[in-house]
Amino acid sequence: MQENFDLLVIGGGPGGYVCAIRAAQLGLKTGCIESRGTLGGTCLNIGCIPSKSLLNSSEMYSKAKNNFSNIGIETDNIKLNLKKMMANKSKSVQVLTKGVEFLFKKNKVSYIKGKGVLFSKNDVVVYNEGKKTSYKAKNIVIATGSCSVSLPGINIDEKNIISSTGALSLEQVPEKLIVIGGGYIGLEMGSVWARLGSEVTVIEFLDHIIPGMDREISKEFQKILTKQGIKFKLDHKVTNVKALGNKLKVNFTNNTNKKEENIDCDKVLVSIGRKPYTEGLNLSKIGVQRDKKGRIEVNKKFQTSINNIYAIGDVIKGPMLAHKSEEEGIAVAEILAGQSGHVNYDVIPGVIYTSPEVATVGKTEEELKKLNVSYKIGKFPFLANSRAKVNNESEGFVKILADSKTDKVLGVHIIGPHCGDMIAEMGLAMEFGASSEDIARTCHAHPTHTEAIKEAALAVDKRPIHF
């Protein structure tokens, strides 16, 4: 007998599983279809979570090897056990994916394993291990996420030419690693392997790293990563990657003077971006419209061109971030339950989990200039922050951009210790329309890294106390 649902979610990643749980909480009979075999999507299985495990472990290894003796902790014969490090990563992923399964049971969400295919606006067929099962749904949410893209002629085999997936599972530290792309993922994974002993070179097509972030932060970040031993080839285009026995040769050209260069290496990490994953869903056949970039077109209520089919996360416009997908998933569930779900895209934070971290929310200087918005700047260095100083982590700064007339905070950009957590305070402040004066008058505990935020807010009106 065919099972009917109020809502079927196709995709069990951060957007999909959160949407399913919230919808079930609101009383909708909900099912979630996932083809991977485990819940959590790219983020939990081969993205955010395993990469943060390796970032944390590699940072501790690097500090133990290079920094502990400076603070009176003598360590001899520090050794890397990569197999154990990878096992720890895998265990964390397994525990968390099982945790999502538990949340489904707790909230009475039906977990449907297999590949979901749309056959009409209400009919979904799930294929799993040779079996075919049909389901009816009043509403459908597409949350199938994204996948890595490569350059023309460069085939990712996940052995020598790898994506972020392969970079999370290398069995030994490559002597030389080339990273194609200077964005979030490339710099995070490059940092992991640089700490563990690789000679890392990043080749970026643009003349700066982390495109889209505040340019002053980008410049400072590159300086810090260079000090850590990572090399950069900016304003270069990779033309091809050739195998030379058990080595690889990467050929690239300077965009300005057209000079050709090449580097031999052991592994190449292709990290130039991701694209919406919508293959095999039958979208064209049933009439779900997509834009030129392959993203599903939606209105403000996340409805596609078919009004009972919705789409969220990496398959629609906006930054490909897990927390953005979660917010959209909750918004859709609440809209379906008759509430007023909403996502404020102006206050979605972005974080790069290197050491130091980079965090941002709101507008950059470059964006404000394009919009002809008059703004003030307040900056405060971690060098003058007591907690950062005693912890020997004083690189970076906090930068606050506020409207010249109203003092409303328009953007915050931080490079420094623990700023991935600190940015939440600024997201909350901006969500409620805070001014830099509001932040400056809020008491921050001493000694903490967050005092740098208070001081940067004071600096907007040129009155910092400690700098």
Residue 76's pLDDT is 86
Q: Inform me whether the pLDDT recorded for 2 exceeds 90.
A: no
Strand partners, 137: 5
Structure tokens at 435: 């001014």
Distance between CA atoms of residues 20 and 9, nearest Å:
7
Which phi and psi angles does 127 have, rounded to 5°? -105, 125
pLDDT at 87: 97
- Whether the bond into 319 is cis, omega within 30 of 0: no
Encoded tokens for 413 = 């950009």
Mean pLDDT of all residues in 367-372:
98
Residue range 333-350, pLDDT digits in tens: 999 999 999 999 999 999
Active site residue 446: yes
Average pLDDT, the chain: 97
Q: What is the pLDDT of residue 387?
A: 98
Report pTM.
Answer: 0.96
Task: Taking residues 386-414, report their average pLDDT.
Answer: 97
Model pLDDT for residues 166-193, shown as the tens digit of each residue:
999 999 999 999 999 999 999 999 999 9
With beta carbons less than 8 A apart as the criterion, state whether 124 and 33 touch.
yes
Residue in the structure block whose two tokens are 């200077």:
182
pLDDT number for residue 245: 86
Q: 208, 446, 449, 466: which is the annotated catalytic residue?
A: 446
Domains contained in the chain, CATH given? 3-148+275-343 (3.50.50.60), 161-272 (3.50.50.60), 347-460 (3.30.390.30)
Angle at alpha carbon of residue 357, lines to 354 and 360, rounded to 5°: 130
pLDDT given at position 318: 96
Over residues 189-210, the pLDDT tens digits come to 999 999 999 999 999 999 999 9
Sequence length of the chain is 467
The answer to whether residue 1 scores a pLDDT higher than 80 is: no
> Cα–Cα distance between 137 and 3 in angstroms, integer?
9
Tell the residue number behind the tokens 């399964």, with chain if given. Answer: 101
pLDDT in tens, 257-273: 999 999 999 999 999 99
Question: Percent of the chain at pLDDT above 90?
Answer: 98
- pLDDT tens string 49-60: 999 999 999 999
30 pairs with which residues across the strands? 7
DSSP assignment of 56-67 equals: HHHHHHHHHHHT
